[in-house]
Amino acid sequence: MRISTSTLYNANVSVLNQQQAQLLHTQQQISTQRRILTPADDPIASARVLDVSQADASNSQYAANRNVALNSTSMSEGVLQSVTNLLQDVRTLAVNAGSGVLNNSDRQTMATDLSGHLEELLALANSTDGIGNYLFSGFQGRTQPFANSNAGVQYQTDDGQRMIQVSSSRQLAASDSGADIFMRIKNGNGTFTTQAAPANVGSGIVSSGVVTNPTLLTGNNYQVTFSVVAGVTTYGVTNTTPGALVPVPVAAGTPYVSGQVISFDGLQFDVTGAPASGDVFTVAPSTNESIFKTISNLITALRTPNPPGGAIATALNSLDRGMDNVLTVRASLGTRMRELDALQSAGESIGEQYKQTLSQLQGVDLNKAISDLTQQRTSLEAAQKSFLAVSGLSLFNYM
């Protein structure tokens, strides 16, 4: 069999190119610390690497989302901590305002102090997350939620909660509705409210009352009217629900004893002191009253000469309900923060598993790779030397 010189050259060049390519591939594996440089290196492992890489990227995005949610939730909790402290200060002022040793000038000073607290509360309710998003504005993060007007503080946005995907199967709220925190607070005892008529001249003070039998509650309005005849005080109860053709008597001529409960239709309360003849106390279903309105009403009462004690008692009761509402929201925020911490810990653990799996799939065995590189370099050098020797052969050298 005759082998031409060109065939000899082509075969050796092909082998040399192949060995150089193998050498380059091994060198790249060592430099990149990766066994799989192209899908052709290991098609099955390459497909698995793609799946794990995508899962790892999703896990990293969830971690970023959790950080956003945690930052926002932490800021909200911090603001509501300040709101709680402020309401406690307001309550202390309200308690002090009920002291009988204060004069009108003292109460005016307290009212001025409360006005400053009201402005501070409005600023806290309009807090942002540091990048321009309001914490308590529902879905409308860029819209200021609360504004003061002649009608009082108004809520300007919606009731939504901005949700963030914090894991493949879990969404958590990163914001809260300011209306739920500051505006929708039931006055009175949460079911009904009692109030002394502004025209009362006696010293009677009505309590906030309690529900004794929820099944008997009617949701109607009532009026308790006192009468004093020959030194004997009695009272009557009338159903004054709007829309009724005439008031409906519930009780009449009942002897009055200071502090003794007045009970009817599943509710009860008491009146202490000495009501004057004609004094009236009203009972109505509880309605929503904002914290801002509660403080404003207290300020108005303190600026009124000789305010009735019932106004301060009503304010104290409403402040307590407002603080309870804020504390409930704070408890919800704490639950979310604890869940976010747990999800973050689990996410970090899963991330480590993904990285370990990727390392196993595409990581290079340096000992083997260096050994292969040495062997391939030796083979290439031998091939180059043999080719040099063969390429120098010529028949003319022996003639």
Burial string for 50-72 (b: 16+ CB within 10 Å, else e) reads eebeebbeebeebbebbeebbeb
Q: What is the pLDDT of residue 244?
A: 59
d(CA 318, CA 289): 8
Residue 64, by phi and psi: left (phi above 0), alpha (psi -120 to 50) or beta? alpha
Supply the DSSP string of 184-216, one letter for each residue.
--B-TTSSEEEEE-TT--S--EE---EES-GGG
Q: Are 164 and 65 in contact (CB under 8 A)?
A: yes
Residue 167, by phi and psi: left (phi above 0), alpha (psi -120 to 50) or beta? beta
- Indicate the DSSP class of residue 221: -
Q: What is the pLDDT of residue 310?
A: 72
Q: What is the largest CA-CA distance in the chain?
A: 159
Q: With 0-12 CB in 10 A as exposed, 13-18 as middle and 19+ as buried, what is 107? A: buried
pTM of the model: 0.78
For 303, the token pair is: 């600026």
CA-based torsion, 364, 368, 370, 373: positive or negative: negative
Q: What is the pLDDT of residue 279?
A: 94
Of the chain, the end-to-end C-alpha distance in Å amounts to 22
Give the bridge partners for 262, in sequence order: 269
H helix or E strand, kind and range, residue 167: strand 163-167
Q: For the chain, list the domains and their CATH numbers.
A: 55-186+319-350 (1.20.1330.10), 192-286 (no CATH)
Q: What is the pLDDT of residue 299?
A: 93
Residue 326, SS3? helix
Q: What is the pLDDT of residue 398?
A: 57
| Residues in the chain where the model's pLDDT stays below 50 | none
For the segment 315-328, what is each residue's pLDDT rounded down to a tens digit? 888 999 999 999 99
Half-sphere exposure of 307 (CA within 13 A, CB side): 27
